[in-house]
Amino acid sequence: MTDKTVRENTSPQFENAAGSKRDAARLRVRKIGNSYGVILPKDVLVHLAVGEGDGLDWCKTKDGGIELRVLDRQVDDLMAMAEDIMSENRTVLRALAK
């Protein structure tokens, strides 16, 4: 499984629409409906190879920052398949577990 990660302490080079490269950008929290969100610039989306509707996981880092990871759709599909199989065969699995 490969996952691309954006960390505060790493310096990926992003290219903006004007073609200039930069290491980081300041993002602002915005109200979106009844929620709040952060708009990711296009160059960050390109770097992560994600688009609208794709999922990201986040976790806290030891230094107090956050880390974004691209969800692996194949893993999600396999987990959903496993859950379906387990729910369909619950009695068989219980008998095998004895």
Instruction: Please say whether the beta carbons of 8 and 68 come within 8 A.
Output: no
How many domains is the chain built from?
1
What confidence tens digit (pLDDT) does each residue in 41-62 have?
A: 888 888 888 888 888 888 899 9
User: The domain containing residue 54 runs over which residues?
Assistant: 5-71
Residue 86 lies inside a defined structural domain of this protein: no
Residue 64 lies inside a defined structural domain of this protein: yes
Residue 98 lies inside a defined structural domain of this protein: no
Q: What's 20's domain CATH number? A: 2.10.260
Residue 33 lies inside a defined structural domain of this protein: yes
Strands 5-6 and 66-70 turn out to be antiparallel
Residue 93 lies inside a defined structural domain of this protein: no
pTM, 2 dp:
0.50
Coil/strand/helix, residue 49: coil
What confidence tens digit (pLDDT) does each residue in 54-90 have?
A: 888 888 999 999 888 888 778 878 888 999 998 888 8
Residue 34 lies inside a defined structural domain of this protein: yes
**Displacement of CA 96 from its chain's centroid (Å):** 36
